[in-house]
Amino acid sequence: MSSEQKQIVITKEDVDRLVEELEFLENLANTLRQNLLALNMSINELKNAKELLQFLRANQVQETYTTIGGGTFIRAKPENLEKTLINVGAGYIIEVNTQDAIKFLENRIKELDETKKQVESRLIEVSNRANQIRQFLTYIISAIRQQLRQQQQQ
């Protein structure tokens, strides 16, 4: 070995730690992807509710189907569009005027969009770190194979 070459020593424990970190990061990435799916579903649901309220207020919808839970819908005709019930969390539902309900939905959409951006950013960080570890482990495997070939040729 020349004086310019440096030897890097990687122990089995080092490799085990990298593999463990990679597994953790892959699990975290899967969880973040699931969170993104849930956020997207919530955002879409809020947007649909907001649009329907806007259509109802503008008298563009005379009749619609509304859920009564359990994947069951009934036909409904709005009679009073002045008040709307909204779920504000923790099991509380309040009655507000419809314009305030629309504003509430808009604010909630903005909050979830911001959360979505943060989760997407975290997913990118996690994916980048996982890729770095994968590349390094691939490099280690390649270096070990090269050493074995050199030893076999001697």
Per-residue model confidence as pLDDT tens for the chain (154 residues): 455 667 778 889 999 999 999 999 999 999 999 999 999 999 999 999 999 888 888 877 778 888 888 889 898 887 778 889 999 889 999 999 999 999 999 999 999 999 999 999 999 999 999 999 999 999 988 988 888 888 888 7
Q: Write down the pLDDT at residue 52.
A: 87
Q: Write down the pLDDT at residue 29.
A: 98
Phi, psi of 63 (to 5 degrees): -150, 145
Q: Where are the domains of the chain?
A: 24-153
Work out whether the CA dihedral 123, 125, 128, 133 comes out positive or negative. Answer: negative
Question: Residue 86: which residues within 8 A CB-CB, separation 6 or more?
Answer: 93, 94, 96, 101, 104, 105
β-bridge mates for residue 83, sequence order: 97
| CATH architecture assignment, domain 24-153 | Orthogonal Bundle (1.10)
